[in-house]
Structure 1
Amino acid sequence: MSELPHRQVSDPAELRAFAHPLRIRLIEELLADGPATASQLADRVGESPANCSWHLRLLHRYGYVEEAEGGTGRQRPWQMVLTSRSWCGDHDDPELAMAGDEATRFLTRRELDALEAWNARRRTEPAAWRDAGFTNQSLAWLTPEELADLGRQIGELLVMNAERFRDRSTRPEGARLIRLMAWGVPATPPMEK
């Protein structure tokens, strides 16, 4: 599974539903450990089963999670729907644009917080993980077409091992859940000619 199905999000309500701290945490728990019930997730995230169940049903409404096999009622396990999603912050619909901007800010801040947490604890990690962890920064002169192509290539790299979320047997010994994020944005406003 080197490619994930892709969906362009066009519903502001979906973006607002997705960009919520507990819902993102539930998604990450399902990605890390696979299918789980609301009660199991509640234990992991420190919330009530009823609250987790409510948030899981909302994520289900927008296609982020689905019922996994086995179990019924309160013992119903949930699993992630592996689909990449994107949205555009400069859409003609002002409500969608605002929701997209907020979702992007929320997710970017969350990833930056995770990077800061890694930097604070990295010296306590085994040497192999300290050496493997990385951040890269660069500047480049690119056309819009080249930037779009670079984004597509990076996107393909970011999902190249997506099957490991569904099939634990494909995870190599010693593998850990890794946070990956990239962006490519113009460094300066356009210059006047």
Structure 2
Amino acid sequence: MPNPHRRLSDPRELNALAHPVRMAIIELLSVSGPLTATELADRLDETPANCSWHLRKLAQHGFVEEAAGGKGRQRPWQVPGLGFRWDDEHASASMDERRAAEALSEVVMGRAIDRLREAQQRASEEPEEWRAAHSNTEMVAWLTADELKEMNEAINAVLDRHVERLTDPAQRPAGARLCEFVAWGVPTYFPGVDPA
């Protein structure tokens, strides 16, 4: 089982992650395991020097660490645990913390939306069973704050059901592929529609 989510609140930590290359590095290390700066560069279409620089910045905040084996340029890096949590709307957060959290949320959600677009563009290339399993869902509903909280907790419980497969390949059934779910449950604002 992976280490628990790390809760972020320090604006310096949030800002360190709020960079597309750094977030891409974290994502790749999370799903592929230890990789060298050169391997990351090949996958990200970056230079090894640029990836090394970003790895050192991430290491300063404990987001990555050196993995066993290798040295110098062949030194692999890994994440010490999976996932992060942060609040971009917490009432007690400082203005700097809120701004940094919003910037990190923008990077994370922007990358997820880019992956959704790529999946949609490549859908016709997928075998029928994967096209049939694919789904996009969007809905709005009138809920109380308690109901919204309950639905978000239920969705999170479903999404966490197979989290151990990220770190333990033996848990992955034959034919499994890396899939992504993005969910948010928030009050929404439509022009001319006031809260009840």
Specify the code of the residue in structure 2 equivalent to 1:157. V
The CA deviation string for residues 129-180 of structure 1, in whole angstroms up to 9 with x for no partner, is 1111111122223222222232223223223322222222222222111121
Please state how far the C-alpha of 1:192 moved relative to its aligned partner.
Answer: 6.8
Shift of 1:28: 2.2
Q: Deviations over 1:15-39 (max 9, x none)?
A: 1211211112212222332211112
For 1:101, the equivalent position in structure 2 comes to 102
% identity of equivalent residues: 44
Question: Secondary structure in 2 aligned to 1:182?
Answer: coil
Code of the residue aligned with 2:98 in structure 1: it is A
Cα deviation, 1:65-104, whole Å, max 9, x if unaligned, reads 2222222333221122333322222343111111111221
- The aligned length equals 192
* TM-score, length of structure 1 as denominator length: 0.87
Corresponding residue of 1:67: 66
| 5+ residue gaps, structure 1 | none
The answer for unaligned runs of 5 or more in structure 2 is none
TM-score by length of 2: 0.86
Which amino acid is the alignment partner of residue 126 of structure 1? P
* Distance (Å, rounded) in 2 between the aligned partners of 1:130 and 1:192: 38
| Structure 1 residue matching 2:137: 3-state secondary structure | coil
Counterpart CA distance in 2 for 1:75 and 1:161 is 32
Aligned-pair RMSD on alpha carbons?
2.2
| CA-CA distance at 1:55 after TM superposition | 0.9
Give the corresponding residue for 1:152. 153
Distance 1:149 1:62, change over 3 A: farther
| Structure 2 counterpart of 1:152, one-letter code | E
Moved over 6 A (4+): none
Aligned to 2:144: 143
Q: What residue number does 2:19 align with?
A: 20
Q: Does the CA-based 8 Å contact 2:37-2:48 persist in structure 1?
A: yes
Q: What letter corresponds to residue 149 of structure 1 in structure 2? A: E
Q: Hey, what does 1:77 align to over in structure 2? A: 76
**Is the contact between residue 35 and residue 68 of structure 1 (CA under 8 Å) also seen in structure 2?**
yes
Judged with a 3 Å threshold, the aligned counterparts in structure 2 of structure 1 residues 174 and 33 are, in CA distance, closer, same or farther, namely: same
